[in-house]
Structure 1
Amino acid sequence: MPSLPPIYSLRAFEAAARLNSFKKAADELNLTSAAIAHQVKNLEQGLGVEMFQRHSRGVELNEAGQKYLEIAQSLLGDFKRKTQIFKAQYEAQPMRIGALHVVSERLVLPLVQKFLNHFPDVKAELIADLIEPDFRTGNLDIMIWHGETPPDEFVTMRVLSERLTPVCSPELLREYPDGMTLDDLLSVPALYDLYWDEDWNYWLSEVDGPELKNSLGFSLYSALIQTAIDGGGVAIGHTGLLDKEISSGRLVKPFEQEIVAPKSYFVLTSEENLNKPNVRVFWDWIRAEKEKVSKQ
């Protein structure tokens, strides 16, 4: 037997070890139980180690088998992921971009639409409700991540910093002819997003505002903004996500004070993903767009 086991033996062993059954492994791999048993036996002979306890009721993974299962799963997982990346270099696969739902809707979608106007041959898929990046599975190429410091293991680029400021409907603000004061916030519902539940505290601590008691949180940013538009309270807003509402006048700023948000938006990917042509084109395009903005 060669010094390295063949891939089919590793697959047979991994399935049998994970399922603790030659029969179940055979069903999963569309083989016979005898074929699974033969491949596992060849693997054991090549390694010089038995990895299953065989008895009348079936098979059971032993201690050596447990250790080798970790090796096999790591190798097979890495092989699958790198094969997907290799294939992507030679065939047009959709570029998969993940983000939080609100970030995907309000930031990523316009960004990708603008990109596709320049590169109409590229296919893209948006994946919402992702909090943390995971490029190991091969199901994600890029993530627009919101936070203070991105993880060190990824290739990162800051794409947007923003400010926090309260916003409300013009109709609500007209109820305060002399202007809304910080103390008025005690009698008006303070609206916030549950994922960004510290935003009001950040802003109030910078402007020496009162401790809020009348508040309402939302798991959907769109519901939060619509409630503010409908006059249901004052929302703590992210300027990077509210351009349309503020420029159209549907939302106004009752206070002049804005603060720099502690978190920014970053594009994250892996070194391997940058080998994919579409990912590289998108990455370089974002970098060029940033340079244009910085020169304005």
Structure 2
Amino acid sequence: MKRRLPPLYSLRAFEAAARLGGFSKASEELHVTPAAITHQIKKLEAELGVELFVRHHRGVALNKAGTDYLNIVNKLLDDLTRQTQHFKSKHRSQPIRIAGLHIVCNRVLLPAIQTFLVDYPEIRAELIADIKLPEFRSGNVDIIIRHGEAPPEGYETQLILEENLTPVCSPAFAASHLEGLQAKDLSGMPALYDLYWQADWQDWLQAAGLPDLENSLGFSLYSMVIESAVEGTGIAMGHTGLIRKELESGALIKPFELEIPSRNRYYAVTTREILRKQGVRVFWDWLSENVAQA
């Protein structure tokens, strides 16, 4: 059975005129002429077979039938608005959610995502930074950047960053040692380190043939390690992939020549199922291509 529905534009004109109390105000809101509003209202009244407004020399006002019909139209438009929003949230592309350690998000992911969004402005992305990585079973993340010696098994992975380890400090800290910084004196200097990356100092000291540290200060965030080193608090173990900005600006320097490859690398990790999601595959392929170019 064919539905006999009043024209939607006539309903919009009627609702605006009733809410605003006049055809002229409705025309301003809908960006049409008052004559167009009058035409749509007359068209609606003809379709319904009843007048909805009382016309007088100072304007118009809803009559009893108009008030009753306005209640119907308001319910219809409110429900249409709610259902449309529900439909959009269900079917439109969801943002890509990418998670990583706080420092990795800030120094590695953020610049990459900003460049990606320039290339693909229609795709939305959300960056989740924390000191503890979420798990895929939470259902709230699409890609995780993991830091480890090898990628986890059973996942789709790609290597995105390798780096070297070497001690770094501020120029002022280096200048405070009048006889110059000597690697053999490290055990007596304030050594800064990340609580989760304590093995980095051990690896470097072993490669340099030096004893373990005696004077050290640990932080739960590598960003705090960097900040303390820049302020001259001590000498920090530098991850060359994370401190490029400070090295290029001269805020941090490398007092020793020895650099060793870090045993850990940065891997982008996801699942085959997640890669089917709209936008995730686009970012995954883009990431692979741009990392290869770098």
Same fold judged by TM-score > 0.5?
A: yes
Report how far residue 136 of structure 1 moved: 2.6
Give yes or no for the alignment of 1:163 onto 2:164. yes
CA separation in 1, counterparts of 2:109 and 2:89? 22
What pairs up with 1:72-87 in 2 under 5 angstroms?
none
Match of 2:259 in 1: 258
The structure whose Rg is larger is 2
Alignment partners' CA distance in 2, 1:263 and 1:92: 34
- The alpha carbon displacement at 1:230 in A equals 1.0
Segments of 5+ residues of structure 2 without an aligned counterpart are 1-87
Question: Are positions 1:184 and 2:206 aligned together?
Answer: no
Q: SS in structure 2 opposite 1:211?
A: coil
- Cα contact 1:89–1:277 (8 A) shared by 2: no
Residue in 1 aligned with 2:149?
148
2:99·2:145 contact (CA, 8 Å) conserved in 1? Answer: yes
For 1:137 and 1:169, the matched residues in 2 are separated by 41
Determine the C-alpha separation between the residues in 1 that align with 2:147 and 2:134.
Answer: 11
- Kindly state the Cα deviation for residue 215 of structure 1 after the two structures are TM-superposed: 0.3
Tell me: CA distance 1:114–1:95, structure 2 relative to 1, closer, same or farther (3 Å): same
> Would you say the 8 A contact 1:89–1:275 is kept in 2?
no
Which residue of structure 1 lines up, in the alignment, with residue 225 of structure 2?
Answer: 224
Deviation by residue 1:14-39 (Cα, 9 ceiling, x = unmatched): xxxxxxxxxxxxxxxxxxxxxxxxxx
Residues 1:136 and 2:137 are matched in the alignment: yes
Q: 1:88 to 1:181 in 2, by over 3 A?
A: farther
CA contact (8 A) 2:99 2:133 kept: no
Residues 89, 276 of structure 1: 8 Å contact kept: no
- Whole-angstrom CA distance in 2 between matches of 1:132 and 1:232: 29
Unaligned runs of 5+ in 1: 1-86
CA gap of 1:89–1:119, structure 2 versus 1, over 3 A, is farther
- What residue number does 2:176 align with? 175
Q: Is the 8 A contact 2:117 2:123 kept in 1?
A: yes
Shift of 1:277: 2.4
Q: Which residue of 2 aligns with 1:91?
A: 92
Contact kept in structure 1, 2:155 and 2:269, CA below 8 Å: yes
- Deviation, 1:172, is 1.2
User: Quick one: structure 1 residues 272 and 207, their matched pair in 2 at CA, closer, same or farther if it must change by over 3 Å?
Assistant: same
How far, CA to CA, are the matches of 1:273 and 1:89 in structure 2? 17
User: TM-score scaled by structure 1?
Assistant: 0.66
**In the aligned structure 2, how far is the partner of 1:270 from the partner of 1:156?**
8
8 Å contact from structure 1 (residues 164, 238) kept in 2: yes
> 2:244 corresponds to which residue?
243
CA–CA distance in 1 between the matches of 2:169 and 2:287? 32
Q: Conserved in 1, the CA contact under 8 Å of 2:170 and 2:252?
A: yes
For the residue of structure 1 that corresponds to 2:130, the secondary structure is coil
Hey, what's the Cα distance between the residues in 1 that align with 2:270 and 2:90? 16
Percent identity for Structure 1 against Structure 2: 50
Distance 1:179 1:115 in 2: 44
What is the distance in 2 between the residues matched to 1:117 and 1:179? 46
Whole-angstrom distance in 2 between the partners of 1:159 and 1:238:
15
Alpha-carbon shift at residue 212 of structure 1 (Å): 0.7
On the 8 A contact 2:101/2:133 being kept in 1, the answer is no
The separation in 1 between residues aligned to 2:258 and 2:273, in whole angstroms, is: 43
Q: Give the equivalent residue in structure 1 for 2:23.
A: none
Q: Which amino acid aligns with 2:195?
A: L
Name 2:196's counterpart in structure 1.
195
Equivalent residue, structure 1, for 2:46: none
- Against the structure 1 CA distance between its residues 187 and 126, is the aligned structure 2 distance closer, same or farther, given a 3 Å change threshold? same
| Matched residues, number | 207
Are 1:279 and 2:266 an aligned pair? no
1:171 aligned counterpart, secondary structure: helix
With structure 2 as the length reference, what TM-score do the two structures score? 0.67
Indicate the RMSD between aligned Cα atoms, in angstroms: 1.9
1:17-166 aligned within 5 A: 90-129=91-130, 131-132=132-133, 134-166=135-167
* Equivalent position amino acid for 2:223 in 1: S
Structure 1 residues 235-244 or 100-109, which shifts more?
Answer: 100-109
